[in-house]
Homo-oligomer: A and B are copies of this chain.
Amino acid sequence: MAKKGILFGVGVGTGDPELATRKAWRVVGEADVVAYPAPDEGGSFSRQIMAEAISPDAIEMPIVVPMIAGAAPAHAVYDAAAARIKTYLDAGLNVAVLCEGDALFYGSFMYVLARLKDEYQVEMVAGVSSLMAAASAAQQPLASRADVLSVVPAPLDDARLEAAILGAESVAIIKLGRHLARVRGVLERLGFLDDALYISHASLPHQQFLPLADAPADAPYFSMILLYKGDALWG
């Protein structure tokens, strides 16, 4: 019986192909099968990042995730993707699944992982997440010394947003989208509007960072707010 293949969960960073790790580049280049999430229409962002690394001989496998606002993760999509990946692994092929940022930081790879980890050998390749890329774009510390750093999804209700913002010295608010105006209101009410930064498309040529007060009304998916309230900032 053939030896089973290995499943690789590969974080590819936030957009600049040079922000992929050397390991991501090698693992993806050597993979027999390269899988990646893709929207209904248009290209896959993670595939675009790794385009030059993928071997021309590799089998490519888009995992098409319908973009329905508010929908729960599409279990059927991941069931089908896992079943197909299984057939490759059983045939002895190594499969690399590309993940924007880091695979385990709010990523969809965990749904694939959950379905396959008990049966197959898995190797994770950690990646540069949007959190670090945003701080680099803003050239502002994320956290220092005894600071608590909280990552807070914008869809949470005002009460939880407030508690998270007040409970930490450093706050990153992610998944802004249509929640931007409300989140901005919460920060203003708490007196932090002037200290908050808005960053979009970190690491890409069109990256933007500006005071939250000057941010556009509609935030793209690849954007976040950073707020640093600590006093240990500048050593």
A142 close to B19 (CB less than 8 A):
no
Q: Residue A110 at the B interface, CB < 8 A?
A: yes
Q: Residue A216 at the B interface, CB < 8 A?
A: no
Q: How far is the CA of A113 from the CA of B102 in the complex (A)?
A: 26
Q: Residue A168 at the B interface, CB < 8 A?
A: yes
By a beta-carbon cutoff of 8 Å, the part of chain A in contact with chain B is: 9, 11, 13-14, 16-23, 25-26, 73, 75, 78, 102-108, 110-111, 113-114, 117, 122, 124-129, 131-133, 135-137, 139-153, 155-156, 160, 163-164, 167-168, 202-203, 233-235
- Chain B nearest CB from A74 CB (Å) reads 9
- Chain B nearest CB from A99 CB (Å) reads 11
Q: How far is the CA of A127 from the CA of B136 in the complex (A)?
A: 9
Number of copies: 2
Q: How far is the CA of A111 from the CA of B235 in the complex (A)?
A: 5
11 A-B pairs besides A11-B132, A105-B135, A111-B235 with CB distance below 8 A are: A9-B136, A13-B126, A16-B23, A73-B145, A102-B132, A105-B142, A107-B141, A108-B235, A126-B133, A126-B136, A148-B153
The contact of A156 among B25, B106, B148, by CB within 8 Å, is: B148
A110 close to B233 (CB less than 8 A):
yes
A151/B143 contact (C-beta < 8 A), A21-B19, A203-B126 known: yes
